[in-house]
Amino acid sequence: MNSSPVIDLSKAPGERAAWDQPTWKVYLWAICELLFVTNAWQISSTLRIIVLRAFGAEIGDDVIFRPRTRVKFPWKLHVGPRSWIGEGVWFHNQDHVFVGGDVVISQETFLSTGSHAHRRDMALLVRPIRIEDGAWITSRCVVLGGSRIGRSALLRPMSLVAGEHIGPGEVWGGNPLKYVGERFETAR
């Protein structure tokens, strides 16, 4: 017989711990997200951004938001100017996500600021994500809370960043995450 404990999930705290807005606003956002942001038939990046801003997202000028994007809480999303958010990117932002200017977040990337106290009671734990100017997170990466992606850094496809800090101009990839080299070679 296995003696490993089991956490009774019916007693787990914080089902709505990240809901720092009234319930009506969270539900209204869910409807608007479905109609105007996630909807693959809605092709206007401008309309998508207008709706995100109406719910408190801070989005700079000339940002492109592709279809099928998901944003858990727009009031916790900050995107700098001229950034590109690729199709199918999911901001599961129970804490703040800060995206600098001229950043590319490519298709199907998942950014999650939340986790759980898995050894205790499964309480929600959140930490912000910071992505600095000029970074490129290529397709299908996973970036978790506490991660910091440095200025002009690059993550290779399908990489997992689990709270690490990636230095400026560095290229990293894989799972487990490994240093690959520098993004820009220095002139000799």
CATH number of the domain residue 57 falls in: 2.160.10.10
* Buried b / exposed e along 117-151 (16+ C-beta atoms within 10 A): eeeeebebbbebbbbbbbbbbbbebbbbbbbbbbb
Tell me the whole-structure pTM to 2 decimals. Answer: 0.93
171 assigned to some structural domain: yes
Q: What are phi and psi of 76, to 5 degrees?
A: -115, 25
Range of the domain at 117: 21-182
Condensed to tens digits (0 to 9), the pLDDT of residues 106-154 reads: 999 999 999 888 988 888 889 999 999 999 999 999 999 999 999 999 9
Strand 142-144, strand 124-126: pairing: unpaired
The total of structural domains in the chain comes to 1
